[in-house]
Each structure stands twice: as C-alpha cells, then as structure tokens.
Amino acid sequence: MKVLITGIDGYSGWALALHLVSRGHEVSGIDNLATRKRVAEVGSHSATPIRTMPERLKAVRKHLGKNIRFRQGDLTDWATVRALIRKEKPDAVVHLGEQRSAPYSMIDVHHAVETQVQNVTSTIHLLYAIKDEVPKAHLVKMGTMGEYGTPNIDIAEGFFEIEYMGRKDRVPYPRQASSFYHWSKIFDSGDVMLANKLWGLAATDVMQGVIYGTRTPEITRDEFLTRFDFDEVWGTALNRFCVQAVLGLPLTPYGKGGQRRGFIALEDSMQSLTLSVENPASAGEYRVFNQFDEAYSVTDLARMVQTIASRKFGLEATIANTYNPRVEAEEHYYNPHHENLLRLGYRHSRTLEASLEEILSDLIRFRSRLEARRHVVMPRMNFRASDNRKPLHIKGKA
C-alpha cells in the first residue's frame, strides 16, 4: 500500500516508517522538524543521538534497499498539503504531525494558541486534501487516551450506548481534558468525525496510550534510532524515571503518584497502527481504537524502574514524590476498554519489564547525553500559572 506519514521525523513517525517499509509498503512522509526545534527551545535534546532526515533516508536506502520519499514542509500551509496529497495519492494517511506535548501547550498564551491553531489547521487541511484528491483514502489519526480524562466510570472506545431519562442512544463518549494540548486532540477528533459524517471519509481515530521503548525489531542500528525525550516538557513520566535512575537521581512521581494511565510498547503501537493501515475502515466508517495494553499508576512505574534498574544494572534509585505541576486527580478510578484492536488480531507482544531493560541499557550507553542535560528532568513549570517561560528559560513575547 501507499502510506503517507505526517510527522515522519517524530518518535512514532520514524519507527512507523521503518516498520512499514520493512513490510513492503511504499512509504512517504512530511515533517516540519518542529519537535527538534521545540525540544531545543526548552533546553533539552533527545537521549538517543538521532540522525538528520537526509541521513536517515540514506541509511534506509543503504541497509534496507528502500526509498522513502520525504518532504520537509508544514501542514499549516494549504498549498503544501494539497500538492503532497495530489502527488503521493496515498491509500492511507497516518496523521502524526502535531504538537504532542501537554506541558508545551501550557507554557503561556502563545504556546496554547500555537498548539491548538497548528493542530486544528493541519487536520482540516488534510481532511480537505483527502476529500479533493483521494476521497477513498483511509485516514489514521493519532489522538490520545487523555481525551477521555479520568471519569469515575469505565471508559468506552469512542462511543457508548447509554440510557438516559428512559431512552437509549449510542453517543460519543464524553471528553474532558487537562491541557490545551489535550483539548486540541479532542478538537481534531471532532473535525475527523465531521468529515466522516459530511463526506463519508473513512477514518480510524487512535486514542493512543503512553508509549514506552527505544527499540522495535527494525531499530537495529544507531542510524535507525528514533528520538527519546526525557525533559519535563517532552518526556513521559516513565522516560524521566529511567533517566533519573541512570543519573543516580531520585525518581520523582508528581504529587501522590496515583495517576493511572494506559501504556503500550513502541513496537506494539507500531503493530497496532499497521493493523489499522492494513485493515482499513470501510467507506463511510469512523472507528475509534483505544490503543494501549496495561494501565499503571505513576507510582507503579517508579517502582518497576527502581526494581529493574537495581536488579539488572545495579543502579540503586530512591523514590521521592515531588510537587505536581499539573492539575489532575492523583487518585482515581481508571478502567478504559480496549477490544477493537484485539478483534483485528492485535496481540500484546512486549511487556513493560522487558522494554525497561532495553531502555535502561540504551540510556546507559548514551549517559553522557543525559549528564549534559540533567537539569531538565525536574519540574519547573506549573499548569496553574499563565506564564511558564521564566522557569523554563524561554525568551518570549507574552
């Protein structure tokens, strides 16, 4: 199949490109390289030494004998998006090309606006370009489990049937998010749902859990490494704990640490996205996949990192809860459903324990890169503040 990946230079995008070309798909991609710039903006860098896109493409040609067509460009430019879709005529578009950090969206008013405006504009441009140029193409759009928040009832997969005042209907599951970023993903889901309703666009909306891991079966050499962020703004809690363990710092859950989320290995997220691509939504179908395997609390994660760091690497880490820069429930019910991918044949293949060993091993190799940025791991911002540029040392205009 011809698959276009937006955000191909990103953590998931690059891993997916390698996976899809290895399976024989014809892959093209676009990226504005914004994540590289934005991570630098907050004073950090990827723990893994990632190659430039030209180097990556060259390595794929050399070692896999495959050609990935790449265009550096911005999805907020309509002419770019239309020309790209017109030229590539993809069977599937996997849309990963968005600002993906909740803390980044909370830096100040401009970062909030930038996040929502760019994410929404990019998605609308893709929807119209697909309608105009390849109306039968299948859109696989990256959303987040964070769209659902943490309600006190089970979380359904996108829609649920409820009874209210004696009547029944199947309606969208209520969304309630905790950052301007998370709301931007809800907005995208709404626009995709609309394009499906108006134009019959075939779409898979992926409610992605937190991804962990540095490796997939295709990431076998340094030239193929994907990024791994560990700073407060771009890194997940798990990534930060792993880096803290390697640097001999205490692991620092935010607040009480009872925040539970759904998790999935990078390799299994690629398996899931590939299942979506290879088993597309039907014409006129809008389907939602809750894409994760297991739910863990932040404290669970800290303890697992502590155990594996000690047992396998002799790294002794303490756990020291710290203040919570976010506004979120720190103890709550959490039971999201995830059946739809299993029906497509998805099988959990990679446990968190196994991945943790691999992550820590990679981080120990790249320890000097962590040492050089050890100051970015601890929280400095506060979602309750309207201006977080100063603690992050960002020059700005607000």
Residue 198 CB, nearest distance to a second copy (Å)? 5
Among 151, 258, 379, 391, binds a second copy (CB under 8 A): 151
Q: Is 395 in the site for a second copy (CB under 8 A)?
A: no
Query: What is d(CA 110, CA 93) in angstroms, rounded to the nearest whole number?
Result: 29
Cα-based angle 332, 337, 338 (whole degrees, multiple of 5): 135
Q: Tell me the per-residue interface mask from 228 to 257 with a second copy, x by CB under 8 A, - otherwise.
A: ------------------------------
**C-beta closer to a second copy: residue 64 or 162:** 162
Nearest to 367 by CA among 153, 29, 48, 38: 48
Contacts of a second copy in 29-88 (CB under 8 A): 78
Asked if residue 12 lies in contact with residue 211, where contact means CB atoms within 8 angstroms, the answer is yes
Asked if residue 29 lies in contact with residue 57, where contact means CB atoms within 8 angstroms, the answer is no
* Helices 53-64 and 11-22, axial angle in degrees (round to 10): 20
Q: Is 139 in the site for a second copy (CB under 8 A)?
A: no
Which range touches a second copy (CB under 8 A), out of 18-26, 37-45, 51-59, 125-133? 125-133
In the residue annotation, 185 being an active-site residue is answered as yes
In the residue annotation, 80 being an active-site residue is answered as no
Alpha-carbon distance values, 167 to 120, 154, 156 (Å): 34, 20, 19
Q: What are residue 144's DSSP bridge partners?
A: 208
Three-state DSSP class for residue 351: coil
**C-beta closer to a second copy: residue 169 or 316:** 169
Other C-beta atoms lying within 10 Å of the C-beta of residue 19: 22
Q: Is 331 in the site for a second copy (CB under 8 A)?
A: no
The catalytic residue among 181, 286, 296, 346 is 181
Q: Is 288 in the site for a second copy (CB under 8 A)?
A: no
Among 96, 142, 186, 309, binds a second copy (CB under 8 A): 186
Q: Is 345 exposed, middle or buried (0-12, 13-18, 19+ CB in 10 A)?
A: exposed
In the residue annotation, 121 being an active-site residue is answered as no
Give the pair of three-digit tokens for residue 310: 């000690």
Residue 311 CB, nearest distance to a second copy (Å)? 38
Nearest to 318 by CA among 326, 307, 334, 306: 306
Which range touches a second copy (CB under 8 A), out of 12-20, 32-40, 114-122, 288-296? 114-122
**Residues interacting with a second copy, by CB under 8 A?**
78, 108-110, 112-113, 116-117, 120-121, 124-125, 128, 131-132, 151-154, 156, 160, 162-165, 167-169, 171-180, 183, 186-187, 190-191, 193-194, 197-199, 327, 333, 383-384, 386, 398
